[in-house]
């Protein structure tokens, strides 16, 4: 079971709390976690990564275990602490605007 932290507006959209959990079958990577999130909460499709290009939205960041996975290849394995559920995978809105 993977713990995922969502930013405020995506929580509101999916009507969930700050942290949700998803099951990932196979390797736990950025891609498989996002796949699981979008399968569990289809309303979030297109809000974290572009529908067509599947690229991360420019103002979102992915963090886990104090590491920045935003620009890592999507198939990069996530740390064991995320895989085991000890630490969350965090999707964060970048600071921007006024």
Partner 1 sequence: MSKVQVLVGTKKGAFVLTSDGTRRKWDVNGPLFAGWEVYHLKGSSVDPNRIYASQTSGWFGQIIQRSDDGGKSWEPAGGGPTTTPDGMPKGESNKFAYEGEIGKHLWYDGTPHPWEFKRVWHLEPSLTDPDTVYAGVEDAALFRSTNAGKTWQELPALRSVKGHLWQPGAGGMCLHTILLDKTNPNRIYVAISAAGVFRTDDAGKTWRPATQGLKSAYELPDKKSEVGHCVHRIAMHPSRPNVLFMQKHWDVNRSDDAGESWDEVSGNLPSDFGFPIDVHAHEPNTVYVVPIKSDSEHYPPEGKLRVYRSRTGGNEWEPLTNGLPQSDCYVNVLRDAMAVDSLDKCGVYFGTTGGQVYASADAGDNWTPIVRDLPGVLSVEVQTLP
Return residues touching partner 1 (CB under 8 A).
7-10, 12-16, 38-48, 50-52, 57, 59-60, 93-94, 96-97
CB of 81 to partner 1, least distance (A): 26
CB of 63 to partner 1, least distance (A): 15
Tokens encoding 75 = 């198939």
CB of 50 to partner 1, least distance (A): 7
Give every strand in the sheet of 2-5, ordered side by side.
Answer: 19-22, 2-5, 89-93, 60-64, 67-68
């Amino acid at each position: 079971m993977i713990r995922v932290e969502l930013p405020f507006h995506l929580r509101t959209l999916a009507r969930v709390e700050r942290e949700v959990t998803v099951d990932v079958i196979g390797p736990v990577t950025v891609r498989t976690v996002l796949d699981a999130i979008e399968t569990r909460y289809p309303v979030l499709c297109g809000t974290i990564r572009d529908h067509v290009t599947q690229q991360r939205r420019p103002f979102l960041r992915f963090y886990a275990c104090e590491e920045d996975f935003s620009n890592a290849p999507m198939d990069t394995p996530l740390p064991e602490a995320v895989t085991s559920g000890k630490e969350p995978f965090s999707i964060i809105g970048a600071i921007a605007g006024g």
